[in-house]
Amino acid sequence: MTTLDAIARTTGTFAMVAMDQRESLRHMFDAAGRGRPDDDVLIGFKTDVATELAPSASGFLIDRHYGFDSVREILPTTTGLILAADALTQDAGGPVEETTIDDVVARHPLDGVSAVKLLIIWRRDEHREERVALAERFIALARDRGVLSVLEPVVRAAPGEGEWDMDAAIREAARELASLHPDLYKAQVPLAGTGDERAQREASAALNDCMTGPWVVLSQGVAQSRFEDAVRAACMEGASGFLAGRALWSDLVGTENVRAGLRERALPRLESLIRTVDDVARPWRDA
């Protein structure tokens, strides 16, 4: 039986790299002044990230559209392969609005895949129960396919919703969806990483109280310079590590020598985060 050890460090904690961005990555190239790139540019960037960062990571997340085959070929056996199983509703240059399970992934050969991941856009709207059912189907699908399930809720205000407290929504989503018992829950960083150590730890402890199993944090929405402190605070209060992309490599999108930049900037960030995880994160079996 596959356990979370397949995407964890030998310590039972997680230091995973996310590289499953699709139109969002294309927009990042555009925002960096490089225009909207062809698919080959996206695949090349993702492959470069995998080449330089995957050997140090416990897991590597990739989508099936841009680079899956090339990444699978170069990934070390010590790094668990995670496949994004989400089909995204997203306009060019805009945020992901809704998701569902990618039917192709549901039928895709999963040779070498340790886990599948589903992004869910969580809102307090009339589709809330449908999203819970979607998460349940995803967890059951992963179990049936013999791979791990990684559930990633990202909260958004519903149209017309009045007072909006993102952290309250992150906790509410966790209470609702962690109770479905995915193998691993991927949560947004409390306070978007803007709090001091005490505030981050208090907010992380409140989020941990909503969890029913092991969880990690993602980096979207957190300033790159604040992410490691946020990871430390979350791990000190119950998280088991991170699954992060932008905090590692976002400033290298559109640069001339990506591989050199990854070695000089992104890899040291990853290595420092790994030291933090090894120092304070809770092993997944203790969650």
Provide the annotated active-site residues. 186
CB 224 within 8 A of CB 251: yes
CB 46 within 8 A of CB 71: yes
CA 243 centroid distance within chain: 4
C-alpha distance across the termini of the chain, in Å: 19
Cα distance between residue 190 and residue 206, in whole Å: 9
CB 190 within 8 A of CB 156: no
